[in-house]
Amino acid sequence: MHEPGVGMLISHGTIGTHHPRWANAGRWALTLAATAVSMFALDAVSAASGFVLSASGLLGDLDHVLLLVLLAVTYLAWAAALRVNLRANWTLLVATGTSTNVLSKVAFDAIRRVTSSRTSSRTSSRTSSRRAQQLAASAGYVVTELAKELPYYFGAFATAVVSDSVSANDAIVFLAGANIGAAVYEYGLARITRAILHRSTSCRVHADGTTWTARTSMPTTLLTK
């Protein structure tokens, strides 16, 4: 769950002090590596949680309707944890230009380029631009996370269809456990990201994205190119 490269970049601020192009390439390389590590870790934690809950038999006697309610509750927990991680990811993007999700960075950079060419010096315009960037970054992150859910549904219910020993209720229990694992992971990743930023930078981003300040050891130009 810990992406040490992010901490090294933020702590030392060594990428591209004199070579902005290399700095940009370094941020992309770090984002790609962090995305790969994050995807592997999330899948491992979610799958393990799903298997453990299924194998425990704790929910084996619950009614089908109750299991569906439980599944819905675990999705709410996952969404709440994801919201916390989205804020942490936004702070990371603003402070360093890196992300633990490559699609989030793609969307952030694309909207930043568009809005920077149109934004005037008015505060309202800058605020609108910053909100658009935050929404784009969050949308990219959420789309990726939702796409990761599809293999779990396919695998769980396909197994229930072809196997006599696995029922639809078993598949629901597995998905509920996977959601719990995903929620724990998302929240944990958010805490790690914020801890790294808190230790290495002085950074504050308002929850609504309207105003922000970010002071790092890296030149300001690295965050705007």
Domain count, the chain: 1
Environment class of residue 186 by beta-carbon count within 10 Å: exposed (0-12), middle (13-18) or buried (19+)?
buried
Look at the pTM and tell me if it is higher than 0.85. Answer: no
pLDDT in tens, 37-68: 999 999 999 999 999 999 998 887 889 999 99
Give me Rg for the CA atoms of the chain: 20
Kindly report, residue by residue over 88-123, the tens digit of the pLDDT. Answer: 999 999 999 999 999 999 999 999 888 776 655 565
Dihedral sign for Cα atoms in the order 91, 13, 221, 21: negative
User: Which residue segment(s) compose the domain that 72 sits in?
Assistant: 4-223
- Dihedrals φ, ψ of 203, to 5°? -135, 135
Please write the tens of the pLDDT for every residue from 116-144.
766 555 655 667 788 999 999 999 999 99
Query: Which tokens in the block code for residue 48?
Result: 């393990």
Q: How far apart are CA 116 and CA 169, in angstroms?
A: 51
Tell which residue, 23, 90, 53, has the closest CA to residue 224.
Answer: 23
Between CA 87 and CA 45, with CA 91 as vertex, the angle to 5 degrees is 55
